[in-house]
Amino acid sequence: MATMHDVARLARVSVSTVSYVLTGTRPISDATRARVLEAMATLDYQPNAMARGLATRRSRIVGLLMPMSERGFGATETAFVTGAAAAASDAGYHLVLSPIGAGDLDDLRRLASQRMVDGVALMEVQVDDGRVTALQELGVPLVLIGRTSDTTDMSYVDIDFDQTVREAVDHLVGLGHQKIVYVNHSAATIAAGYGPALRTRDSFVAAMAGYGLEPVMIPADDSAAGGRAALAEALGKAPDLTAVLAMNENAIFGILAELSVRGRRVPHDVSVVSMVTSPAVAELAHPALTAMTSPGAALGRLAVEALLRQLDGTGAQHQQLLPCALEVRGSTCPVARPKNELTGTGLPGG
């Protein structure tokens, strides 16, 4: 593999001159620059990312800002990162992950002012997110994985929560379920304005209303204990529930455990659908969970591709929604019919 020294020898210049051609830090005559570039082409010399960055005033690094909440970093979140990293790598960029949350604006401003990254993709977006305003004021190229309440002049990719929730409710109602409870993220997360929690809450209400059914939503802390407590609260509000829809991967296993403790079989007594979930998580459960599978990898890739188009000056505003995909496994089945419906009178053979 050719080195900078090889280029210098062939072009009959010093190594520092080759460096100046690459970085543009000092004026070089057109004739000398032409000799250096010709030598680079002849030797198929590939300057490293740092040198290319100095020449273009770019770091060739993009940031993925993803706060580490109490939910932690699981398989579903990993899919977003994997898709984003692959898109960056394909374009010759590096992706760095930074856990800057909505309350870390000083850290965000330091990151932006030091020009450590060329642009950022922002995750875990709140409907009123101070990070968005700060980055816009600093002139940092930005794409959201999520949405604020006002998306005017904003580039974003996100899950289509209306379609996702509607299809989950359609699936359960199609199986005969009418007493459906939605287990959301925690009350604190909802109060903080976390976009997915608010949008799925509203979408659930609308989907149930479309069938003339009463919506019951329970917030749950993002833990197995939170799931157990949420299921207990759900049974208190709707003791005849026959289905649970949940968008809380950390709580879902607590929900399943509490159903088992209470003698409610899944899916024969209670069907369960996990929403915005990865197959890796869905298949850990027994029975395996029917799920609305997250398009995380696709959204991560789309966000970085849109960001890179901004950096290259070739991209217009990009706004795109992708729904989760229904994958039916073993945790849903037709609602059990009461015994009096099976016999017609409620008496054996009657």
Report the alpha-carbon distance of residue 68 to residue 222 in Å, rounded.
13
- The per-residue pLDDT for range 99-142, each reduced to its tens digit, is 887 778 888 888 777 777 899 999 999 999 999 988 888 888 99
Total domains in the fold of the chain: 3
Q: Are residues 155 and 300 in the same domain?
A: yes
- pLDDT score of 349 more than 70: no
Q: Are residues 171 and 145 in the same domain?
A: no
Q: Look at residue 51 in the predicted model and tell me its pLDDT.
A: 52
- Cβ-based neighbour number of residue 134 at 10 Å: 18
Q: Are residues 338 and 316 in the same domain?
A: no
Q: Are residues 178 and 279 in the same domain?
A: yes
pTM of the complete model: 0.80
CA nearest to 2, candidates 28, 36, 53: 36
Q: Are 184 and 200 in contact (CB under 8 A)?
A: yes
Question: Residue 43 maps to which CATH number?
Answer: 1.10.260.40
* Confidence label for 23 from pLDDT (cuts 50, 70 and 90): low
- The per-residue pLDDT for range 240-279, each reduced to its tens digit, is 999 999 999 999 999 999 999 999 999 999 999 999 999 9
- Whether residue 40 lies inside any domain: the answer is yes
Q: Are residues 175 and 122 in the same domain?
A: no
Q: Are residues 339 and 214 in the same domain?
A: yes
* Residue-level length of the chain: 350
- Whether residue 52 lies inside any domain: the answer is no
How far, rounded to the nearest angstrom, does the alpha carbon of residue 232 sit from its chain's CA centroid?
A: 29
Structure tokens at 147: 């949405």
Report the alpha-carbon distance of residue 305 to residue 284 in Å, rounded.
32
Q: Are residues 267 and 300 in the same domain?
A: no
- Whether residue 348 lies inside any domain: the answer is no
Q: Are residues 203 and 277 in the same domain?
A: yes
Q: Are residues 118 and 27 in the same domain?
A: no
- Over range 41-52, report the average pLDDT: 69
- Whether residue 139 lies inside any domain: the answer is yes
Report the alpha-carbon distance of residue 71 to residue 76 in Å, rounded.
11
Q: Which domain holds residue 227?
A: 161-293+328-343
- The per-residue pLDDT for range 68-104, each reduced to its tens digit, is 765 566 788 899 999 999 999 999 999 999 888 777 8
CA nearest to 95, candidates 249, 304, 242, 285: 304
- Whether residue 349 lies inside any domain: the answer is no
- Whether residue 143 lies inside any domain: the answer is yes
- Over range 41-51, report the average pLDDT: 71
Structure tokens at 10: 């062939």
Q: Are residues 274 and 187 in the same domain?
A: yes
Q: Are residues 90 and 38 in the same domain?
A: no
Q: Are residues 92 and 191 in the same domain?
A: no
- Whether residue 209 lies inside any domain: the answer is yes
Q: Look at residue 346 in the predicted model and tell me its pLDDT.
A: 44
- Whether residue 243 lies inside any domain: the answer is yes
Helix/strand/coil (H/E/C) assignment for every residue in the chain: CCCHHHHHHHHCCCHHHHHHHHHCCCCCCHHHHHHHHHHHHHHCCCCCHHHHHHHHCCCCEEEEECCCCCCCCCHHHHHHHHHHHHHHHHCCCEEEEECCCCCCHHHHHHHHHCCCCCEEEECCCECCCHHHHHHHHCCCCEEEECCCCCCCCCCEEEECHHHHHHHHHHHHHHCCCCCEEEEECCHHHHHCCEHHHHHHHHHHHHHHHHCCCCCEEEECCCCHHHHHHHHHHHHHHCCCCCEEEECCHHHHHHHHHHHHHCCCCCCCCCEEEEEEECHHHHCCCCCCCEEEECCHHHHHHHHHHHHHHHHHCCCCCCEEEECCEEECCCCCCCCCCCHHHHHCCCCCCC
Question: Residue 285 maps to which CATH number?
Answer: 3.40.50.2300
Structure tokens at 269: 């007594």
- The per-residue pLDDT for range 162-206, each reduced to its tens digit, is 999 999 999 999 999 999 999 999 999 999 999 999 999 999 999
